[in-house]
Amino acid sequence: MVAIWLCLGGALGTLCRYYLGQAIAWLWPSSFPLGTLGINVLGSLLLGLLWAFRAKGLLATPLQAMLMVGFCGAFTTFSAFSMETVGLLQAGRYVQAGLYILASVALSLGAMVVGHRLGW
């Protein structure tokens, strides 16, 4: 039964990631990967919040699997971050690549902490 919840969460996370990424690209056209950055920060915020809810016993196991592993796992992506970073480096855009790495790590970690604290 948990596998069904995982699949459902993964499908929803994938759809949200795709459409939100498209919306961000449309609203703020840029050669900088704003979509992936925004999605990873938002996903970290959500995962931190869910983590706190789980610690309080507010998430049943199927819901944990669906939201924390399925949805957040499919919504955020390290592989796209890696690909976009390499693309920036290959294009000789070293400063942007460095800023992207720093922003992704710092903002995602910060969002995780904020989400976790909001959940308490």
Greatest distance between any 2 Cα atoms in the chain: 48
Q: Which domain, by its residues, includes 110?
A: 2-119
pLDDT, tens digit (0-9, with 9 covering 90-100), for 50-66: 999 999 999 998 999 99
**What is d(CA 88, CA 92) in angstroms, rounded to the nearest whole number?**
6
**48 near 115, Cβ under 8 Å?**
yes
Residue 94 scores a pLDDT above 90: yes
The DSSP output letter for 65 is I
In the chain, the number of structural domains is 1
Grade residue 77 by pLDDT with cuts at 50, 70 and 90: confident
- Cα separation of 10 and 117, whole Å? 25
Q: How confident is the model at residue 28 (pLDDT cuts 50, 70, 90)?
A: very high
SS3 117: helix
